[in-house]
Structure formats: structure tokens, C-alpha cells
Amino acid sequence: MNSGTRIITVANQKGGVGKTTTAINLATALAAIGENVLVVDLDPQGNASTGLGIDRQQRLVSSYDVLTGNAGVMEAAMATAVPGLSIVASTLDLLGIEMEISSAPDRVLKLRNALNEDGIPYSYVLVDCPPSLNLLTLNAMAAADSILVPLQCEFFALEGLSQLLETVEQVRGSINPHLGIQGIVLTMFDRRNNLANQVVEDVRAHMGDTVYETIIPRNVRVSEAPSYGKPAILYDLKCSGSQAYLQLASEVIRRERRLRAA
Ligand code: ADP
Ligand code: MG
């Protein structure tokens, strides 16, 4: 693999917190500022693949093939409508992968080994995880330079975070000692909601600088975009959600430089 490639895993075992939305819009924002980006869809639901306009019948070679060793990353990567952004799509085959690879000694290292392929041209790889701390998420953590955690601005935002961070700690203590925390991004923020403001304060009080300055607002354009097979940034660049993701991209790049230097 190109030593300049940075692999960021977007993870949270809760569903509906904005993982996929963050993966595809952050990836698009990075591509828009000239990075060469790959999204790896590790969720059997395939929302990142759909949201980037890849229909199910187009997914002839998928993340399942990459994890099982049937295909290399470059063979599985498909171009999207966004210049500079490719995706390894997912299929429902991924639902069975746990059973298929669970007895392999390198079962947690399948993605990492695949991304080690020579000549991978990407400067950023973003891995979208399923809503679970299963073998797929562990593969994504084992392969990553850093973890990016979306937290929804709702009452139970912090619940489950310690379990997630413990898992990161375990991965760091065993198979991936260099794994860092990229950051925590607050999503679906509604400033008219007092509770949301309270959640932001709480999360910042607990997690300090780990939390990005950028907060992603709840924005109907962001939720409409996937039904057109487009990231929000392509669907409506000017909307508040797209603008927030562009801002997040510059924070991520700044942090990645710092992590790389560490
Ligand atoms: P996850 O991948 O964690 O399950 P998603 O990214 O799929 O979460 O988001 C869950 C739902 O919330 C989706 O319907 C998505 O369109 C919507 N959503 C995510 N972020 C926003 C936002 N900033 N504004 C409005 N809707 C959003
Ligand atoms: Mg998702």
C-alpha cells in the first residue's frame, strides 16, 4: 500500500446516528478538495453504496469478495459520480461472512491485508461500519489509522460510547497499536431544541478536544440526497449540512496531519 494512504473507520454500534451519512459526505468533501478517496462499505445494508448511486445489480464485485480474498481492492473499487471518489460496495452476502471466516486465524485482519495491496492510489480510505461491534467492525478497526465516531445529538448520545472506546482500546492493545481516535462528530443537531444544546455541552464536557468544533445540523436536504443516489454535497452544495461536512473535512485533514506526525 502507498504509505501516504490514511484509513479512517467510521464506527458506532448504534444504528441511525449518522455513520453512513458522515462516511459518504466526508468522502465527497475530501474528494472535492482534491484528495483521491475510497469508501469501503462494510454494512450488509449497503446504504453507503446506494447513497453513492451504485445500484444492487451493479455490485458484481463487493466488499464480501475483498474480505474472502476472492478479489483485490482495486478490482472491487467502482467509480462514483463524484470525481476522485470510488467505492467498494457491499452486498447482503456480508451477512454470512462472520460464519465463513470465523475459524480463520487472520479473521480480524482480512480488510487490513486486502488494503495492503501494492499500488493503491488513494490518499484517504473511509470505512463505513454496520451498527454492531461485530467481526466486520473489528476488521475495520484493525485496518484503520484512526476512528471517527458520529454521535447523534439526543438524550442517550453518550450511552454506548464507553463500550465503543473500550473496543478501540482492545484493538490498540492487540492487533493495531497505532490506532488513534480521529474524533467525535455531533450529528443531526437542531438548535431550536434545548435538549440538543444540553447534549452538546455534556459531550464536550466528557470528551473535550476529541469532539470536533464542526457540528452537523439536522437538515432535510441531507436526508433527501440518498434517495437520488447522491451525497448531499452533490445534491445541494449550499445547504447547511453540506457546508458542515466541508468544514468537517478540513478539521479531519488537520487532525490527520497531527496523528501522522505522532
Ligand atoms: P447510520 O449509518 O449510523 O445508521 P445514517 O447515516 O444512515 O446512520 O443516518 C440515519 C438516518 O438519519 C438516515 O435516514 C439519514 O438520511 C438521516 N440523517 C443523517 N444525518 C442527517 C442530517 N444531518 N440531517 C437530516 N437527516 C440526517
Ligand atoms: Mg449506516
Q: What is the pLDDT of residue 116?
A: 94
Task: Provide the pLDDT confidence category of residue 257 given band limits of 50, 70 and 90.
Answer: confident
Task: Provide the pLDDT confidence category of residue 17 given band limits of 50, 70 and 90.
Answer: very high
Residue 47 CB less than 6 A away from ligand 1: yes
Query: Residue 259 pLDDT > 90, yes or no?
Result: no
From 9, 17, 21, 186, the mutation candidate for ligand 1 (largest count of ligand atoms within 8 A of CB) is 21
Q: Does domain 6-261 have CATH number 3.30.56.10?
A: no
Q: Which atom of ligand 1 is nearest to the CA of 217?
A: 23
Q: What is the pLDDT of residue 2?
A: 59
- pLDDT tens profile 184-196: 999 999 989 999 9
Distances (CA, A) of 35 to 5, 55, 86, 212, 256: 10, 25, 11, 21, 13
Distances (CA, A) of 77 to 3, 36, 127, 133: 19, 12, 13, 25
Cβ-in-10-Å burial (0-12, 13-18, 19+) of 178 comes to exposed
Q: Which ligand is nearest to the CA of 187?
A: 1
Distances (CA, A) of 148 to 92, 96, 140, 210, 238: 24, 26, 11, 10, 24
Which of 189, 138, 196, 203 has its CA nearest to residue 167?
A: 138
Tell me the pTM. 0.97
Question: What residues does the ion ligand 2 have nearby, CB within 5 Å?
Answer: 19-20, 47
From ligand 1's centre to the CA of 23, what distance in Å? 11
